[in-house]
Amino acid sequence: MDLSSKVKLNNGVEMPYLGLGVFLAKEGEETYNAVKWAIEAGYRHIDTAMIYGNEESVGRAIKDSKIARSDIFVTTKIWNEDMRQNNQEKAIDTSLKLLGLDYVDLYLIHWPVKEKYVETWKKMEVIYETGKARAVGVSNFNIHHIEEILSVSKLVPAVNQCECSPELTQEDLADYCKQKGIQFEPWGPLGQGNSVNNPEIAAIAKKYQKTPAQIILRWGFQRGFVNIPKSSNKTRIVENSKIFDFELDDADFNKIFTLNKNKRNGPDPETFDF
Ligand code: NAD
C-alpha cells in the first residue's frame, strides 16, 4: 500500500485512501499552493466544498499540474442554502464551472438539512445519472439520517464523511456504514489540530519514530477509512502523506480507541443551526 492505494466504492469507483482537505484554505495562493504541493508529493485526491469558496483555486492547481483528469479524485459538496432553495442541480453546475471540470468524482450532501436532505438525495440520484458525479454520498449523516434516505431510495451513498478523531472515535456509525457498504471518511481526523498534542499519541509516535499526525492518520487507515487531513504547509502536507511505510501493532491501534471522549470540535449533526 502507498499513496496511490485506493478503495473500491460500492459502485466500483476507486477512491484514494489519502487526500488533501482544503477547509479554511483561502481562495487564491494559499489553496493553489497547497493543492500544487500535494500533487507534487503524490496526492491524487482533493476534498473541497462549495462553501469553502476555493473551488476555483483547486481546479486551477489541478489543471496546471498536467496530471490526467482521470488520475485525480475530486470531491465537492452541495451547501445547505442550495438545498433550502431547491437549487441542487444548479449547484453542481456552479461547482463544476468554478473547478473547471466536466465532472467530480464524488458529490456529497454537506449536512443533513432538516426537511431537505431526503428530497436532495433524490436529486443526487439524478445528478449521478447525468454523469456529473461519478459517485454520490453524504456527510454528517447519523444512522437515522441514512436509514431515512434508504427508505425512499435504492441508491446507497458511496461515502459518509463525518467528524472522527481519537477523541471522537465514531465506532457505531463507522460499523453501521461498513455493514451497508458505505465508505467512512473522517473529517477533522487530527481533531482540527488538537489531537496532535495528546501525550498518549506523542508516546506512540516516539515508539514508531513518526509524528503524532502520522500515527493518527495511520490509525484511521488501519480502520479502513479514507483520510483527508488539511494543511497548507508544504512540510506538513508531505508529512501527512507518509503513513504507508509502517504499521501500528494491535496494542497501539487499540490504545487510541481508549482516548475517545465523544468530543466534537465541530457542530453536531443533530443540533447544527446553519
Ligand atoms: P484536520 O483534523 O485535518 O486538522 C487540520 C489542522 O491540523 C490544520 O489546520 C493544522 O493546524 C493541523 N495540522 C495539519 N497537519 C499537521 C501536522 N502534520 N502536524 C501538526 N498539525 C497539523 O481538520 P479539518 O481541516 O477540519 O478536516 C480535514 C478536511 O475535512 C477539511 O479540510 C475538509 O476538506 C473536510 N471537512 C469536512 C467537513 C464536513 O462537514 N464534511 C467539516 C470539516 C472539514
pLDDT at 238: 98
Q: For position 261, what pLDDT does the model report? A: 98
pLDDT digits (tens, 9 = 90+) for 23-40: 999 999 999 999 999 999
Which distant-in-sequence residues (6+ apart) come within 8 Å of 183 by Cβ? 7, 9, 10, 15, 137, 158, 159, 160, 177, 225, 226
| pLDDT value for 268 | 98
- Identify the band that residue 77 occupies on the pLDDT scale cut at 50, 70 and 90: very high
pLDDT for the residue numbered 70: 97
Ligand 1: centre distance to CA 152 (Å): 33
pLDDT score for 27: 97
Contact 188 CB / ligand 1 (< 6 Å): yes
**Arithmetic mean of pLDDT over the chain:** 98
Q: What pLDDT is attached to residue 233? A: 98
140 Cβ closer than 6 Å to some ligand 1 atom: yes
pTM: 0.98
Q: Is there an atom of ligand 1 within 6 Å of 186 CB?
A: no
CA of 238 to the centre of ligand 1 (A): 14
Mean pLDDT computed over 6-29: 98
- Kindly give the distance from the C-alpha atom of residue 182 to the centroid of ligand 1, in angstroms, as a whole number: 22
Query: CB of 78 closer than 6 A to ligand 1?
Result: no
Does 198 sit in the ligand 1 pocket, CB within 6 Å? no
Joined together, the cell numbers standing for residue 198 give 495528546
Q: Is 265 in contact with 188 (CB distance < 8 Å)?
A: yes
* Band of pLDDT at residue 255, cut at 50, 70 and 90: very high
**Contact indicator for 89, 126 with CB cutoff of 8 Å:** yes
Distance, CA 8 to ligand 1 centroid (Å)?
A: 24
User: What pLDDT score was predicted for residue 73?
Assistant: 98
Task: Tell which atom from ligand 1 comes closest to the C-alpha of 48.
Answer: 34
Active site residues: 52
Which pairs with CB-CB distance under 8 Å and at least 24 residues apart come from 262-269? 262/167, 262/168, 263/167, 263/168, 264/163, 264/168, 265/163, 265/165, 265/168, 265/188, 265/191, 265/192, 265/194, 266/163, 266/187, 266/188, 266/192, 269/111, 269/112, 269/140, 269/141, 269/142, 269/145, 269/162
Model confidence band, residue 243 (pLDDT cutoffs 50, 70, 90): very high
- In this prediction, residues 137-157 reach a mean pLDDT of 98
